[in-house]
């Protein structure tokens, strides 16, 4: 599935971290965050980190990147979103 197909698919096809990313891709950061904070494990932490970085809360994002075992990302948040979605869809 491509990123474009991901966004064209209905939300009920996804769960967990991918569902949070889907909502963020649709422009609903709040819904994405509500979902991400309930996703256990590294994927949930990674999406949670991304969302806080996008929000501008760099300190909180750093905490979640560490929990995810990922380096802190800098730059365009859209590029990071695509990278996360691509990796998770590719599993």
14-46 per-position pLDDT tens digit: 999 999 999 999 999 999 999 999 999 999 999
Distance of alpha carbon 60 from alpha carbon 8, whole angstroms? 31
What local confidence, expressed as pLDDT, does residue 70 receive?
Answer: 97
What local confidence, expressed as pLDDT, does residue 42 receive?
Answer: 98
Cβ proximity of 90 and 6 under 8 Å: no
Q: What is the pTM of this model?
A: 0.96
What local confidence, expressed as pLDDT, does residue 59 receive?
Answer: 96
């Amino acid at each position: 599935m491509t990123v474009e197909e991901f966004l064209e698919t209905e939300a009920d096809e996804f769960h967990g971290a991918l569902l949070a990313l889907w909502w963020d891709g649709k422009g609903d950061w709040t819904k994405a965050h509500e979902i991400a904070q309930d996703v256990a494990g590294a994927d949930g932490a990674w999406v949670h980190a991304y969302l806080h970085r996008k929000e501008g809360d760099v300190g909180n994002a750093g905490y979640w990147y560490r929990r995810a075992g990922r380096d802190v990302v800098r730059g365009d948040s859209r590029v990071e979103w695509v990278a996360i979605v691509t990796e998770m869809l590719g599993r």
